[in-house]
Structure 1
Amino acid sequence: MQRLARESDPLGAVKELIWNALDADATRVDVVLHRSPLGAVERVTVRDDGTGMAPEALAAAFDRIGGSWKKWTAGTLLKQRTLHGSNGQGRLRAYALGDHIRWTTVADGVGGRSRTEVAAHAGARNDFLIGDSVPTREATGTLVEAWGKQSPRLDRLPLRANHRRLTTELAPYLTAYPEVSVVYDGVAVDPRTSVRHTSVYPLTFAGGDAQLKVIEWSAAVDRELHLCDGGGIPVGTVDAGIRAPGFDFTAYVLWPPMAEHVSDVHLGEGHDSEVTALLAVAREQLRAHFRSRDDDRRRELVQRWQAEGSYPYDDAAAGPDRATFDLVATAVHRHIPRRGNQRRATLALLREVVRARPERVAAVLDEIFKLSDDDRGQLDRILGDTRGIRAAATVGDRLAAIATLRRLRTADPDRLGAVLAEHTWVFGERHGLLTADRQLDAVVDRHAGPDLLLARARREHERRQHLVVGTVDTAGAKELTQLVSYAEAVAGDAGFRGIRVDWDVWLLAGRVDDDLRPAVRDPHRPRGCVLDRVGLRVWVRDWAEVLNECTDRVRFYEQGVTGYPDRARLP
């Protein structure tokens, strides 16, 4: 008897008494937690307006354990609502709420309407004292009272978490029967007030057809998978068994024969059964559901940030860098400040951290926001390949730079030199680490040549690398002769006598005359190289051709290293 009472689970006892009331066709159930002057729960009452228990049925209901009348009917007696219990053990659960229990029930029986009291005590759990029935005109219903027990578990009953647990378990029933109301400790149990999103999916498995209902809540709940019959009455509960960071949800598997497989539910998932097969299908559908919902949530958040001006990318920006930022930002969106200026600054800083130090993003965010295990785990999966993210940022930077150079060529040529100076990789990867050099600037200034765009240098021990770039509208034979003369002059300047220097002198033209085509496309030299000596190479290239080659090079790198666009959606 003590084992069946499950006295360590007072909330389970409350739920059982609520289900008993609903099985008696109640339309309202009130659970009241009576507190002592010091705030301890000293008495619990559950009152309903159901049909009550007729005097002639009390003996059968209380004198033996098991064999409930509910086994022999498909629905409640009056309204044919779905039934919950059928094992005849529910009344024992009240011992979890008190050592003294009293049922006061008003029902219509053979002799008319009467009121009857049934009393019990934990000292003799199987002895239920059924009093004499008294005629009455009171409304039908049952009042269950439990008292005389002191337990820290009882004092936890008022917690909001217990109200949420009741809400998640009763949600399918209260949705199916909206005329029913349950009030717990003065607060209505109403799923509609906290449901954020609901989805229903058909399931097909070896045992037939079932249904999966997923309810996402606006408050934190335990992630559970309730195994229910066709009417939404839970037969058992298991862990949801999936990861869905950022979502508070409860899932319900509705299968009409579920109650017939209650033993399989209680045995767990370590054996082959139709319930185990159904759980596998349900969890796979749950994963698919939250993959889709994660995409929806990401789009909704990004659209909201864009509308309010907090999003740190303009509409034209695209690529793996932005996709990675979206994944990271939406993964921790609950921690991002709500105020406009603060959110705008946080998102901008987050973008820079993702681009510059992806391997540090999780640690930085954890230090600032104190992330949950779910949030940290999701970030670790997103940022697992920091090399790919860093490469994605490089790709994004370079494509943006190429677009800027194309625009400046016609719109603002005076700024070309300044932009090129920051992106010398345009002339080849070996020029990627060049910088300004006063000595080089002085030498190129002493010699007349084409319009100078930039002069950059790199020092490495006793060797130097120099890049000099000029520009003209059209390059022909005359410009080529002047370019070679200029290149030989700067390379032979006395300022670098005795120093080993590798010179690359470029002429970028809006158009290259046809008479120069043989020189710029000599099969024995790299494309565009018109002079190749030890320590000196001279180049004549078409602007559009150079930028097109840069774009192809970046795209090839993008596909080979980051796998984009396949990686646009990271793990």
Structure 2
Amino acid sequence: MEQVNSAIGGTTTVEVKVQPDHIQRIAEGKSAVQAVAEMIWNALDGDASTVEVKIVTNDLTGIEEIQVIDDGHGIPYDLALTSFENLGASWKKGQTSEEGRRLHGQTGQGRFCAYSLGALVRWKTRYRKEDRVYAYEITGTDFDPKKFKISPRVISKNKNTGTEVIINNPRKTLRSLLADDAFLRFTEVFALYLRQYPSVKIRYNGRLLDPGAVQVHVVEYDLEPATFQDGRTIQGKLTIIEWKHKVERELVFCDGAGFALHSIPPGIQARGFDFTAYLKTDYFRELHDNRLLVLEELLPDSVKLVEAAKDTMRAHFRRRLAEDARNIVDQWKADEIYPYEGQPRNIVEQVERQVFDVVALNVNEYLPEFSASDLKSKKFSLHMLKAAIEKSPAEARRIIQHVLELPKEKQEELSALLEKTSLEAIINASKLIIDRLEFLTGLEVILFSYEGKNKLKERQHLHRIIAENTWIFGEEFHLSVDDQSLTEVLRKHLAILDKDRTELAPVKTLEGGTGIVDLMLSKKIPQPRRDQIEHLVIELKRPSQDITSEVTTQIEKYAFAVAEDERFKGTPTRWIFWAVSNDMDKHTRRKTTNQKNRPDGILHEAEDQNITIWVKTWAQIIEACRARLAFFQEGLNYMATQDAGLSYVQELYSKYLPDELKAERAGE
């Protein structure tokens, strides 16, 4: 950069030592709204408490002049001489204003954006030095954008500081500044700043920017920390603002102070919501200063932050949809038009209402005539819909089609399910899934709580509960043997094969013992020639008993007794043995993990004998059950709480529980 002191009329000319086409690219890279926003940011960086933008039009409603007026500290004369000759090294970088505000400008390019608005730009500024206020003017033209003329400073009669940017000879492409949504676009841009500094006032063509007046909902989230390739851990913040008006949805990249640097489409579905999401981290300032921010899709670290933001946005709008649905139903109840009274008496009634709510909320969303109708009409329609769903699918179709007049695709969608099955079947299926989710949660409580872990016994308590819920080991199994000897295991095995089982000699372990099997589950697997049988033999241990060498030896004895007894041989049968408890000791864990060519948990495997022995923890079994139920759980949008799960187990299996767990239910 170089400074040229001109003697003409006492005016100083500063020249930016850069090619004119570079300045032109800076100017052309901004839209009209973005360029005016840069002028406002410059005013705010000067500690302005009030900024006013005026779009002056002529008689033909064309733009004559643009003014950006602020009451900030002005531009000190010495600072103008240096800052207007610099490009890419702004004095603002890393600084705060005199009043402690974070500064937006970092690269010294903002003033050149004015050239995208007009060919002639003037900065009339007043600043205070000691006890005097000085005034002077800076002028630039796009004819020679490298040069700025700075007039001599004079003592100002106006004792208030501030700067007025006046842009003349406007471009022909500025109609967007007069569009109806221009005011809203500026509101979106400065929403975070005005939330952080509520005393600041910005007016656009006489209208005060007030984000609160046009916002529906505002929330801020701390994202999960992301570990970058260079080892840094970065935690971004995400602010989501939902608007009352239509907006172009954006995910805005901001620095840590909330200054917008770049934006992309949000990349999520959020039906019915108009929003802007602001992703804040100083990492984006680094990318912006190095001109890498526009390449965010190619940078793995940026992708991590964006994906975390998308996950958070999806979760947010799922919650908001649920809230909106609840609000609608609550309003129906307040208006006394909801066709149910009081609380559901049981889970069946609860699911029945949920089915009704789903149908009714779809009607409310897709049928404007319904949502706009009076309370009497709504009440009639809701009661008709309730009766139709309960009566028959055909009746529901007639009500939906002729009374509520849903769009055709929604008629088919809502009626198809009711035509394929009955409402009773839907409710029963939903209840079965909910019961199982509550059982799994209740089982966790009694297995891992202090009372359960220390008081629960395998045969007296746990065994009896599990025997009635063998589905946790797989839907295809049925209970064959419950707490009986290996000889009874043989008897059941032969019965499945339709073989003679009279006068059976006892089955002995290698040491001569009889052995008692906790549970044996069996299933048939259809094959082209003859069915294959699969037996699952389970050895349960109380929660306080880890799986130790003693336990694994016991299950191995049972398995080897089967392997050595010739009466079990020569049949298409696969034997699987599980030892199950809350945990295992270090020796067993080391023995059954990180085995070459074997999954974790296998203790012994003999392909020639069709025998496999596993050690399993309850956490693994419960997690596998939840995985099988996850799809249905998501569809029902149901999460079993610990209280609900424990109550379910206590209600159904109280006779099998130790007194400590029974007393907890009774509140003793």
The two structures have a TM-score, normalised by structure 1, of 0.61
Contact 1:105 1:140 in 2 (8 A): yes
Does the C-alpha gap of structure 1 residues 334 and 209 become closer, same or farther in structure 2, counting only changes over 3 Å?
farther
Mapping 1:420-435, distance limit 5 Å: none
DSSP 3-state at the match of 2:268: coil
CA offset digits 1:460-515 (Å, max 9, x no partner):
xxxxxxxxxxxxxxxxxxxxxxxxxxxxxxxxxxxxxxxxxxxxxxxxxxxxxxxx
Q: Is 2:246 aligned against 1:227?
A: no
1:299 aligned partner, one-letter code: R
2:128 aligned partner, one-letter code: D
CA offset digits 1:23-51 (Å, max 9, x no partner):
11111100111111122222110001111
1:178 deviation in Å? 0.9
1:87 deviation in Å? 0.9
**How many residues get paired?**
391
Partner of 2:182: 162
CA offset digits 1:127-146 (Å, max 9, x no partner):
22222211114211110111
C-alpha separation between the residues in 2 aligned to 1:388 and 1:566? 18
1:272 aligned partner, one-letter code: L
1:260 deviation in Å? 1.2
**Runs of 5+ consecutive residues of structure 2 not aligned to the other structure:** 1-22, 228-232, 429-630, 639-668
1:110 deviation in Å? 7.8
Contact 1:321 1:389 in 2 (8 A): no
Contact 1:236 1:265 in 2 (8 A): no
**Runs of 5+ consecutive residues of structure 1 not aligned to the other structure:** 368-375, 400-562
From 88, 92, 99, give the equivalent of 1:66: 88
Q: Is 2:145 aligned against 1:145?
A: no
C-alpha separation between the residues in 2 aligned to 1:8 and 1:74? 25
DSSP 3-state at the match of 1:124: coil
CA offset digits 1:234-258 (Å, max 9, x no partner):
2222211111111121111222333
C-alpha separation between the residues in 2 aligned to 1:176 and 1:266? 24
Tell me the percent identity. Answer: 29
Mapping 1:39-54, distance limit 5 Å: 39-54=61-76
DSSP 3-state at the match of 1:283: helix
Contact 1:324 1:568 in 2 (8 A): no
C-alpha separation between the residues in 1 aligned to 2:384 and 2:26? 58
Does the C-alpha gap of structure 1 residues 342 and 162 become closer, same or farther in structure 2, counting only changes over 3 Å?
farther
2:300 aligned partner, one-letter code: S
Return 61-70 or 344-353, whichever deviates more.
Answer: 344-353
From 168, 171, 175, give the equivalent of 2:191: 171
C-alpha separation between the residues in 2 aligned to 1:148 and 1:42? 7
Does the C-alpha gap of structure 1 residues 114 and 564 become closer, same or farther in structure 2, counting only changes over 3 Å?
closer
Return 21-30 or 198-207, whichever deviates more.
Answer: 198-207
1:56 aligned partner, one-letter code: D
Contact 1:265 1:275 in 2 (8 A): no
Contact 2:38 2:113 in 1 (8 A): yes
1:346 deviation in Å? 6.4
Partner of 1:305: 332
From 97, 110, 113, give the equivalent of 1:93: 113
DSSP 3-state at the match of 1:70: coil
Mapping 1:222-261, distance limit 5 Å: 222-261=248-287
Partner of 1:23: 45
Partner of 1:325: 359
Mapping 1:501-540, distance limit 5 Å: none
C-alpha separation between the residues in 1 aligned to 2:295 and 2:374? 47
C-alpha separation between the residues in 2 aligned to 1:147 and 1:390? 69
Return 188-197 or 4-13, whichever deviates more.
Answer: 4-13
1:329 aligned partner, one-letter code: V
Does the C-alpha gap of structure 1 residues 347 and 16 become closer, same or farther in structure 2, counting only changes over 3 Å?
farther
CA offset digits 1:67-91 (Å, max 9, x no partner):
11112x4311x11201111111111
DSSP 3-state at the match of 1:31: strand
C-alpha separation between the residues in 2 aligned to 1:339 and 1:359? 18
C-alpha separation between the residues in 2 aligned to 1:564 and 1:279? 29
1:176 deviation in Å? 0.8
Does the C-alpha gap of structure 1 residues 7 and 281 become closer, same or farther in structure 2, counting only changes over 3 Å?
closer
Partner of 2:201: 181
Does the C-alpha gap of structure 1 residues 267 and 349 become closer, same or farther in structure 2, counting only changes over 3 Å?
farther
C-alpha separation between the residues in 1 aligned to 2:92 and 2:119? 27
Does the C-alpha gap of structure 1 residues 88 and 392 become closer, same or farther in structure 2, counting only changes over 3 Å?
farther
CA RMSD, 1 decimal: 3.4
C-alpha separation between the residues in 1 aligned to 2:278 and 2:138? 36
1:2 aligned partner, one-letter code: Q
From 372, 377, 388, give the equivalent of 1:337: 372
Contact 2:262 2:294 in 1 (8 A): no
Mapping 1:270-419, distance limit 5 Å: 270-311=297-338, 318-319=352-353, 321-329=355-363, 331-332=365-366, 336-337=371-372, 339-341=374-376, 343-344=378-379, 355-356=396-397, 365=406, 387-391=416-420, 394-395=423-424
C-alpha separation between the residues in 2 aligned to 1:279 and 1:398? 40
DSSP 3-state at the match of 1:221: coil
Does the C-alpha gap of structure 1 residues 243 and 349 become closer, same or farther in structure 2, counting only changes over 3 Å?
farther
C-alpha separation between the residues in 2 aligned to 1:328 and 1:23? 49
DSSP 3-state at the match of 1:172: helix
Q: Is 2:40 aligned against 1:13?
A: no
C-alpha separation between the residues in 2 aligned to 1:358 and 1:12? 52
Contact 1:320 1:565 in 2 (8 A): no
CA offset digits 1:368-416 (Å, max 9, x no partner):
xxxxxxxx9xx79xx76863354466449999xxxxxxxxxxxxxxxxx
Does the C-alpha gap of structure 1 residues 109 and 205 become closer, same or farther in structure 2, counting only changes over 3 Å?
same
